[in-house]
Amino acid sequence: MLDLGCGSGRVGEEVLEAGAAEYVGVDFSEPMLELARTRLARFGDRARLIEADFMAVPLDGTFDVVLALGVFDYLTDPARLVGKVSALCSGVMVASFPRWSLVKGPLRKLRYEVINNCPVFNYTERELRLMFGAAGFGKVDFLHRGRSGFVVRAVKA
């Protein structure tokens, strides 16, 4: 399993306890990776953590499952990331995507873009289907359609 934006390793702990053979977490935040190292130390070589921007890190082989939860909120070029994932994914990608909400949308825009100078992005079902299809994923399922976002499962063609 490959986990993009793995943070403190909470998901890694769950999947390794459930029997995953290998977990690779990529994050650019050293403090979060330090938390992940502590949390995942008991799994030894089954857990590998990489401090890097996913788009810049070379990874060998393929992964049965790729997770990207909370990653797409801030990407200016999401299709590029999905394309790289497609080259590394032999099975399924699960990712979360924000969508515009009349309640949360203006608050997120104020908090991130105006106050913190950090652009945030929103997605539609149509955009997501087109992006995953163009990257070589054959089936796109919406596991969750909430007021503030989607959880998508995309299966390699």
Residue 7 reports pLDDT greater than 90: yes
Of 61 and 105, which is predicted with more confidence? Answer: 61
Region 29-45: what's the mean pLDDT? 98
Q: Which residues of 115-135 are buried (b: 16+ CB within 10 A; e: fewer)?
A: eeeeebebbeeeebeebbeeb
Residue 127 pairs in a beta bridge with none
The Cβ of residue 13 has, within 10 Å, a number of other Cβ atoms equal to 17
pTM for the predicted model, two decimal places: 0.91
Q: What is the pLDDT at residue 109?
A: 76
Residue type, 131: M
CATH superfamily, domain 2-156, is Vaccinia Virus protein VP39 (3.40.50.150)
| Residues 58-97: tens digit of each pLDDT | 998 999 999 999 999 889 999 999 999 999 999 999 999 9
The pLDDT-based confidence of 16 (bands split at 50, 70, 90) is: very high
Classify 112 in phi/psi space as left (phi over 0), alpha (psi -120 to 50) or beta. alpha
Mean predicted lDDT score pLDDT of the chain = 94
